[in-house]
Amino acid sequence: MDTSELIEEAKKAAGNAYAPYSNFKVGAAVLACGKIFTGCNIENSSYGLSICAERVGIFKAVSDGCRNIERIAVYAKKMPYPCGACLQVMAEFCEDDCEIIVTDGEKVERYKLFELLPKRFKLEK
């Protein structure tokens, strides 16, 4: 899967974001099972009920039976580094070397999950 295609899908997904409180629209594209699952952030006036784009995309993949996330691209007009909750969800469904791409449309940064979350919480199954 081409990185530019994954980024473009994340950028398109940001257009669907519901962000009337922060006006920070984020899109994510999650590659799993050879398919792209997109997500956008969805805010709520009760802030704790809001959800990030990354988790929406991951949950869509998981709900379709894809539990091994290969790569993730995240787009916003300002660099959209994943929050702690998103990183922990990634840790559940990604390998340590899963590539996380963040971009504002001009600058592109690439990380491995272990770089962003070096000491993840994980229960043994």
Give me the active site residues, please: 54
End-to-end CA distance of the chain: 31
CA distance 20 to 45: 9
Are the CB atoms for 61 and 30 separated by under 8 Å? yes
| Residue 63 backbone dihedrals phi, psi, to 5 degrees | -70, -20
Find the helix or strand (DSSP H, E) in which 31 lies: strand 27-32
Take residue 123 and report the two structure tokens written for it: 């229960």
